[in-house]
Amino acid sequence: MVGLSARSLHSVRSHPLVQALPLPQCEVCVIVPVRNEAEHLGRMLTALRDQRDLAGSPLDPARYEVILLANNCSDHSAAIAHRFAVQHPSLVLHVVESTFSASKANIGWVRKLLMDEAFHRLNSLGRHKGIIASTDGDTQVAPDWIAATQHEIACGVDAVGGRIITDRGDRAALGSYVRACHLREVGYRCLVAELEAYLDPDPFDGLPRHFQHYGASLAVTAEMYQQAGGLPPVRTSEDVALYRALVRVNARFRHSPLVRVTTSARPIGRAQGGLANQLSAWAVRGEQQQPFLVEPAGAIAARLHARHALRSLWQRFCNGYPSTLQEMALPASWLEVDCDWLSDVFTQQASFGALFEQIEHQQAQEKRWQQRWPLVNIEQAIDDLRLLLEPLRRRQPSLQGKRKPLPKPVFKNQQVSRLCHTLSPKGR
């Protein structure tokens, strides 16, 4: 489903979570799923209460509200939230308690319920550019979290992923191998995001940027949430599923370093598929002395160049200029897909995001891509990414820190082919 109409949204809504109407001034609806977060809840709510604008002045509390859903709790989370609401009436805090059946007691269902509720409340005010902002019960948002999110939306984007930092004390308590894996993964993915900004530039997501689009700091306008069909009905990784749905409809997404939160790095989490599960998996890998394998730098460069080339062809196609098989040949070769297949599917998709998703699905089925680019040790991948980035940084230093479209890829096709050949363990 590409979009979700207002009628269909209302048709699937049984009854509102919050009975009180939103204040007329409300511009941002913050949603917080909570399950047994008594340890973190006070700090999380205090951070939301003490929001400031970008100049450091207190943010008008009538401009935003918080909906906290305490579900299936066996601790005092709900009581803590209710008490906070009474003690701090300036914060527009709606506390909802629910106990769901096993089929619905998962983070995907709870976050969807909350984001749908936020959409309806903003929609009732006619705020199509109103912001649905998600965070978590174990997360502490920065003092300007709401204002920075609003700033990014005002710059023309439809959705924002905030920079998520793990708590320093929690990191220190992790085992040395787990901590090293976490830091290496963050470094690897930051380098990938930087390379993406050079090789397949997005005018709305330029440097500086990061790689995260997770529920601890994820915001979207009400109208784009509707256009994307709402949060997909999945049990876990619902934040990633929403990001993919947004990409599918060509949403302008910003990975903003201005929007910041700090979250726990506990090894035992409340939701499957989250950071805690990854930390536990790294601990097992360390005990079994297994290597940390990731996609190699050559594969990432090849994908980004192919995607950039296809994006240009797509824009021409949308303007009425069809592409030839010859023009499709090089990106098809880079992506390890059949050129005729790519030419056929190219004209059948409703958006570029949907097109590239179809390509990745084809790659997963055929497995030629995986055979061409076997996984490598993360240390090697990081070294190779730095090698790729070094000349790009030298040639485009003025682009660091600026929000503007980047020029076409610096490498010529022949140069990229040689570089990918060098980084590949197989070669062509």
pLDDT in tens, 93-150: 999 999 999 999 999 999 999 999 999 999 999 999 999 999 999 999 999 999 999 9
Higher pLDDT, 372 or 270: 372
Domain extent, residue 209, equals 6-290
Our count of domains for the chain comes to 2
Residues 13 and 158 in one domain: yes
**SS3 assignment for the chain:** CCCCCHHHHHHCCCCCCCCCCCCCCCCEEEEEEECCCHHHHHHHHHHHHCCECCCCCECCHHHEEEEEEEECCCCCHHHHHHHHHHHCCCCCEEEEEECCCCCCCCHHHHHHHHHHHHHHHHHHCCCCCCEEEECCCCEEECCCHHHHHHHHHHCCCCEEEEEEEECHHHHHHCCHHHHHHHHHHHHHHHHHHHHHHHHCCCCCCCCCCCCCCCHHHEEEEHHHHHHCCCCCCCCCCHHHHHHHHHHHCCCCEEEEEEEEEEECCCCCCCCCCCHHHHHHHHHHHHHCCCCCEECCHHHHHHHHHHHHHHHHHHHHHHCCCCCCHHHHHHHHHHHCCCHHHHHHHHCCCCCHHHHHHHHHHHHHHHCHHHHHCCCEEHHHHHHHHHHHHHHHHHHCHHHCCCCCCCCCCCCCHHHHHHHHHHHCCCCC
Domain assignment present for 428: no
What is the pLDDT averaged over residues 294-311? 97
Residue 270 sits in the same domain as residue 339: no
Residue 124 lies inside a defined structural domain of this protein: yes
Last residue in a domain, options 238, 256, 290: 290
What pLDDT does residue 268 have?
Answer: 62
- pLDDT at 131 (0 to 100): 98
* Boundary (domain end) residue, out of 252, 272, 290: 290
Read off the pLDDT of residues 338-386 as tens digits, 9 standing for 90 and up: 999 999 999 899 999 999 999 999 999 999 999 999 999 999 999 999 9
Residues 273, 301 share a domain: no
pLDDT, position 422 = 45
- Do 356 and 256 lie in a common domain? no
Question: pLDDT tens for residues 23-44?
Answer: 999 999 999 999 999 999 999 9
